[in-house]
Structure 1
Amino acid sequence: MSSQYLAKYEKGGYWPGQIGQVIRNRYINIKLLGIGSFGTVWMARDKADDSYKALKFAMTEHRDPAKLEIEIFKNIQSLGTHPGQEHIVQFIESFRTKSDFGKHEVMCLEFVGPSLSAVRKRIGSLHLEHVRKISIQLLNAIDFLHTKCRIIHCDLKPANMMIQISPDDVKKVAINGRQPDEIDETSDVPTFYDIDFNDPDYEISVKICDFGISMKSDGHCEFPVQSCNYRAPEAFLRNQFGPPIDIWSLGCTLFELATGECLFTCSTFQENTAHMKDHLDKMSAALGRIPHRLYEDNRRKRIYFENNIENQNRPDQPNLFLNEIMSEQEHISEEDADVFVEFVHCFFHYDTKMRVTAATALKHCFLSEKRGMFDYNVEDQPSSNMLSHKNDTNEEVLGESDDDESPFD
Structure 2
Amino acid sequence: MSIYKQLQTSDEIMQTNTKHMICTKSSDAVMDSKLKTLRSYTHLEPDYTEEHEDPRDYCYGGYHPVQVGDVFNKRYKVLSKLGWGYFSTVWLCIDLRSGRHVAVKVLKSGAGFTQAGQDELTLLRCASGPTARNPLKDRIVQLLDEFKIAGVNGIHICLVLELLGPDLRCWQVCFGNPGLSLTCVKHVITQVLEGLAYLHSHCKIIHTDIKPENILLCVTPQSSSHPPGDATQTYSTAIKTTLLQDPEAPRNLDNITVKIADLGSSCWVYKHFCQEIQTRQYRSLEVLLGSEYGPPADIWSVACLAFELVTGDSLFEPKAGPNFSLEEGDLRRIAVLRPWGLYEVLVEKYHLLLREASVFSDFLLQMLDFLPERRATAAQCLKHPWLKL
TM-score by length of 1: 0.74
The aligned residue for residue 328 of structure 1 is 349
CA distance in 1: counterparts of 2:234 and 2:159, whole angstroms: 21
The aligned residue for residue 76 of structure 1 is 127
CA distance in 1: counterparts of 2:318 and 2:210, whole angstroms: 16
When structure 1 is superposed on structure 2, of 241-250 and 121-130 the one drifting more is 121-130
CA distance in 2: counterparts of 1:36 and 1:225, whole angstroms: 16
Is the 1:32–1:42 Cα contact (8 Å) retained in structure 2? yes
Question: In the alignment, does 2:203 pair up with 1:154?
Answer: no
1:49 Cα offset (Å):
0.8
The aligned residue for residue 25 of structure 2 is none
2:319 equivalent among 248, 257, 267: 267
1:60 equivalent among 109, 124, 137: 109
Is the 1:12–1:59 Cα contact (8 Å) retained in structure 2? yes
CA distance in 2: counterparts of 1:258 and 1:228, whole angstroms: 19
CA distance in 1: counterparts of 2:317 and 2:348, whole angstroms: 20
1:159 Cα offset (Å):
0.3
Is the 1:155–1:227 Cα contact (8 Å) retained in structure 2? yes
Deviant stretches of 4+, over 6 Å? none
- Percentage of identical aligned residues: 29
1:177 Cα offset (Å):
3.6
The aligned residue for residue 87 of structure 2 is 38
Matches for 1:8-407 after TM superposition, within 5 Å? 8-61=57-110, 62-78=113-129, 79-123=131-175, 124-125=177-178, 126-166=180-220, 168=222, 171=224, 174-178=226-230, 187=233, 190-193=236-239, 194-196=241-243, 199-200=250-251, 202=253, 203-267=255-319, 274-276=325-327, 278=329, 304=330, 310=336, 320-321=341-342, 323-325=344-346, 327-330=348-351, 332-368=352-388, 371=389
The aligned residue for residue 392 of structure 1 is none
Is the 2:308–2:314 Cα contact (8 Å) retained in structure 1? yes
Distance 1:337 1:195, change over 3 A: farther
CA distance in 2: counterparts of 1:262 and 1:135, whole angstroms: 16
Is the 2:102–2:163 Cα contact (8 Å) retained in structure 1? yes
1:93 Cα offset (Å):
1.1
Distance 1:63 1:82, change over 3 A: same
The amino acid that maps onto 2:270 is: D
Is the 1:122–1:189 Cα contact (8 Å) retained in structure 2? no
Is the 1:130–1:200 Cα contact (8 Å) retained in structure 2? no
The aligned residue for residue 393 of structure 1 is none
Is the 2:174–2:236 Cα contact (8 Å) retained in structure 1? no
CA RMSD of aligned residues (A): 2.4
User: SS of the residue aligned with 1:240?
Assistant: coil
1:340 Cα offset (Å):
1.7
Is the 2:80–2:91 Cα contact (8 Å) retained in structure 1? yes
Deviation sequence 1:306-338 (CA, Å, 0-9, x none) = 576546xx65x7xx14541454335x5332233
When structure 1 is superposed on structure 2, of 90-99 and 221-230 the one drifting more is 221-230
1:190 Cα offset (Å):
2.6
1:220 Cα offset (Å):
3.3
The amino acid that maps onto 2:293 is: F
1:341 Cα offset (Å):
2.0
CA distance in 2: counterparts of 1:148 and 1:237, whole angstroms: 28
Is the 1:323–1:341 Cα contact (8 Å) retained in structure 2? no
CA distance in 2: counterparts of 1:222 and 1:51, whole angstroms: 35
CA distance in 1: counterparts of 2:101 and 2:333, whole angstroms: 57
User: SS of the residue aligned with 2:325?
Assistant: helix
CA distance in 2: counterparts of 1:307 and 1:168, whole angstroms: 55
- Which structure shows the higher helix fraction? 2
CA distance in 2: counterparts of 1:101 and 1:87, whole angstroms: 35
1:267 Cα offset (Å):
3.0
Is the 2:243–2:252 Cα contact (8 Å) retained in structure 1? no
CA distance in 2: counterparts of 1:83 and 1:310, whole angstroms: 49
CA distance in 2: counterparts of 1:230 and 1:326, whole angstroms: 23
- Report how many aligned residue pairs link the two structures: 327
Q: What stretches of structure 2 of length at least 5 have no aligned partner?
A: 1-49
Distance 1:93 1:189, change over 3 A: closer
